[in-house]
Chains A and B, each alone.
Chain A
């Protein structure tokens, strides 16, 4: 399994990072973490899909609305490495159970301190993941604004 977070790491480095983690099985429909909870673990998706949702008021009811889906190899829960260390989305296993590798923040930071070169590569990989999310959502935001403007000026 190639993980986006471990791109560019040597095989021994990748094994060392993976050894820090604990495998978790997330049954279908079960949440891995919820919005607002303390984020002290980062997750690498190993199997299945993780749905990321945000609560929205739909007809007066709070509903978890789909935001994004993460596939095997992708990273979930990078709030664990970014202050204030709180999850900003809710993550739930999709239709089938999912398997993730949970990497505790403290263990990761300890590894980065001891292996700065590997830590630098992981930080760059994390920047790619975060940057992609930022680009994606700023594009979606502009498209929605564009549509709103068109509706208003029609």
Chain B
């Protein structure tokens, strides 16, 4: 009988703990929703919500991801490659100056 009562008490206690934890979790998510979020421009989703469907799907709106999300190390490497390519193009111009060589294109992805 004592063991039964002990088990019952522990069960009630466990349920109470779970309820408190659930309440705390949902409260914190609500309050975090209320915090100020950065205003991101809304754009239409580039990818349809469903695959393999010919039916028109109302395009949901999602926050735009800026193209500047490239890691800064990658960006700095792109700049360095761009400068190296531009220097090479400038060297060609200096060796044999023509107007066309001032406007020649490089393969630099930084400007293409």
Which A residues fall within an 8 A CB radius of B?
58-59, 61, 63, 65-68, 132, 135-137, 139-140, 142-144, 146-147
Contacts and interface: CB of A to CB of B under 8 A. Distances in A.
Interface size class of B (residues with CB under 8 A): 10 to 19
B5 to A, nearest CB: 64
B83 interface: yes
Contacts of B111: 147
B75 interface: yes
B112 to A, nearest CB: 10
B102 interface: yes
A144 B103 CA distance: 9
B72 A143 contact: no
A66 B68 CA distance: 20
Q: Is the interface of B mostly helix, strand, loop or mixed?
A: helix
Contacts of A132: 94
Nearest to A68: B87
Contacts of A58: 72, 75-76, 79
Given A65-B76, A65-B79, A67-B83, A136 B90 contact: yes
B90 A140 contact: yes
B87 A136 contact: yes
A22 B99 CA distance: 45
Contact of A143 (B80, B86, B94): B86
